Chains A and B, each alone.
Chain A
Amino acid sequence: MKPKQANKRYLSTMLGASGGYLGSVFGVSFAHDHLIDGSAAGILLSLVPGIFICLMLFSVWRYLKEVDEVVRHQLTQALLAGLFSLLALSGGWGLVELFNDSLPRLPVFFAFPVFFATFGLVSAIRYKRCV
């Protein structure tokens, strides 16, 4: 696959999945607040945003396989930056939480946004350096 085709496919899948993720998070949140209680249907509905997370991760994995080695190298570094930021935050704050009962607990939900925000930021910076 040509680089431009891979870029186009990656961006369209990622943007679509990101929109779906945001929409489903707000939609599920609204449904839980106004429409449904803690029933099995509510739990099932809560799984919907996870489908879009899987789609985003799949698009990154597919893009990694399709691009040339330079882009793959940059993408891998951005993924590692995202992973390390997540590990630093969860490990660091996790210990603070462990030793201090009075502090608020950081929801696990934030793991994905932290990872992807760092990944996206580092990707953009590295891409800009090569333009």
Chain B
Amino acid sequence: MENNLKALRADKGWSQAALGDQLDISRQSVNAIETGRYDPSLPLAFKIARLFELTIEDIFNDDDVA
């Protein structure tokens, strides 16, 4: 699943570690989500969306998912 988390994070001027601290996950985990290696669970996706004050659909794109 694709996402624009990296761009959103850059807009805020946050490092991966700073974003990880706010989400209570590690920097490596932020990297895994940003690069699409890991699709977050629904609770974590909601947490990310709330942090950026957006909807989940604004951040994650499931067009390539059947």
Q: Which residues of A contact B44 (CB under 8 A)?
A: 69
The smallest C-beta distance from B54 to any residue of chain A, in angstroms, reads 20
Cβ-defined contact, A3 with B40, below 8 A: no
- Within 8 Å of chain B (Cβ to Cβ): is A131? yes
For B27, give the chain A residue with the smallest CB separation.
Answer: A3
| A residues in contact (CB < 8 Å) with B | 2-4, 7, 67-71, 73-74, 127, 129-131
| A contact patch SS | helix
For A6, give the chain B residue with the smallest CB separation.
Answer: B26
In the complex with contacts A130-B29, A130-B31, A130-B32, A70-B38 CB distance below 8 A: yes
Q: Which among A68, A129, A131 has the greatest number of chain B C-beta atoms within 10 A?
A: A68
Interface size on B, residues (CB 8 A): 14
In the complex with contacts A3-B20, A129-B37, A130-B37, A71-B29 CB distance below 8 A: yes
Complex Cα–Cα for A67 and B29 (A): 10
The smallest C-beta distance from B61 to any residue of chain A, in angstroms, reads 19
Complex Cα–Cα for A7 and B37 (A): 21
In the complex with contacts A127-B28, A130-B29, A69-B41 CB distance below 8 A: yes
Q: Which residues of A contact B20 (CB under 8 A)?
A: 3
Q: Which residues of A contact B29 (CB under 8 A)?
A: 3, 68-71, 130
List 4 additional contacts besides A129-B37, A131-B28; criterion CB under 8 Å. Answer: A3-B20, A3-B29, A69-B25, A70-B29
For A67, give the chain B residue with the smallest CB separation.
Answer: B26
Q: Which residues of A contact B37 (CB under 8 A)?
A: 129-130
Q: Which residues of A contact B24 (CB under 8 A)?
A: 2-3, 68
Q: Which residues of A contact B40 (CB under 8 A)?
A: 69-70
